[in-house]
């Protein structure tokens, strides 16, 4: 991901004081990779500098929610969890980071 893909939503913080960042998910990357890349981009660090995602969510379960073969018959999936000081929300197309 490059910096142009991470954009703040609105010019001001939300009513609750949080700032929202959104990035489009790379269709060729897993949900896990997309989350780690998005957080690393916002934090301006390399993915390896972040805490292990597996300490807060099962990466296989996260990826399983968004794998194409597993989604037959499901409505649009949306999953949220806390990671690195953000509430991360993942959908088929987007990773959003809300500052907690």
Q: Which residue has the higher pLDDT, 27 or 3?
A: 27
Sign of CA dihedral 54, 98, 19, 2: positive
Output the pLDDT for position 32: 96
- Total structural domains within the chain: 1
User: pTM, whole model, 2 decimals?
Assistant: 0.77
Which residues constitute the domain of residue 32?
Answer: 3-99
Output the pLDDT for position 51: 97
Are residues 38 and 95 in contact, defined by beta-carbon separation less than 8 angstroms? yes
Q: What is the per-residue burial (b if ≥16 Cβ within 10 Å, else e) of 38-73?
A: bbbbbeeeeeeebeebeeebebeebbebbeeeeeee
Output the pLDDT for position 90: 94
52: pLDDT strictly greater than 60: yes
Q: Which two tokens stand for residue 67?
A: 């794998």
Per-residue pLDDT averaged across 29-58, rounded? 95
């Amino acid at each position: 991901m490059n910096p142009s893909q991470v954009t703040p939503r609105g010019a001001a913080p939300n009513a609750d004081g949080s700032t929202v960042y959104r990035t489009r998910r790379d269709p060729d990357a897993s949900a896990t990779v997309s989350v780690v890349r998005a957080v690393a981009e916002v934090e301006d660090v390399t993915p390896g500098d972040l805490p292990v995602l597996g300490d807060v969510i099962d990466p296989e379960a996260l990826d399983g929610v968004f794998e194409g073969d597993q989604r037959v018959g499901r409505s649009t999936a949306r999953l949220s969890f806390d990671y690195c000081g953000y509430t991360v929300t993942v959908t088929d197309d987007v990773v959003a980071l809300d500052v907690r």
